[in-house]
Amino acid sequence: MTTAHASGIAHPSAATALQVARTALLIPRNIVVALLRGYRALISPLYGDVCRYYPSCSAYALGAVQGHGVVKGGFLAARRVARCHPWAAGGVDDVPESHSDHFHVGRFGFVVASDVHSGQGKG
């Protein structure tokens, strides 16, 4: 969406600028998502099913970063890995739910900014 300026040059609207800013802020998150997906595809299968928790630590880390971002998701993942040891009781340990409608996880696992006007948020 653009707005006409007195000079006749079209300028992006505030909503478009906000969408671009949200997308740019998701770049670090998606870099970490790509690294975690690579680890899960290439390295994790070499170890087999050794995690005492469900989902596995790498799946937990992926979900935490997708839902909470690099800083909080990284903290949640590090805390989870610290709990995962041979003496841990294990069990189901889901990632805490994220309460943001500003983004959603796309088809390939990458996080994309939601279009506020299309209602393409969490649902």
Which tens digits make up the pLDDT trace of 48-69?
Answer: 888 889 999 999 999 999 999 9
In the structure, what pLDDT confidence band is assigned to residue 119 with cuts at 50, 70 and 90?
very low
- For residue range 78-118, what is the model confidence (pLDDT) as tens digits? 999 999 888 989 899 999 998 877 788 888 888 888 775 54
DSSP symbol at 54: E
Contact 50, 25 (CB under 8 A): no
For residue 71, pLDDT over 90 is answered with: yes
- Does any domain span residue 119? no
- Does any domain span residue 44? yes
Domain count within the chain: 1
- What pTM does this model have? 0.78
- Does any domain span residue 6? no
- Does any domain span residue 41? yes
- Does any domain span residue 8? no
Confidence (pLDDT) at 103? 82
Question: How big is the chain by its Cα radius of gyration, in Å?
Answer: 19
Confidence (pLDDT) at 122? 43
65 CB-near residues (< 8 Å, 6+ apart): 29, 32, 33, 36, 73, 74, 77
Confidence (pLDDT) at 61? 97
Q: For residue 100, what are the domain limits?
A: 15-113
Residue 10 to residue 13: CA distance in whole angstroms: 9
- Does any domain span residue 120? no
- Does any domain span residue 121? no
- Does any domain span residue 7? no
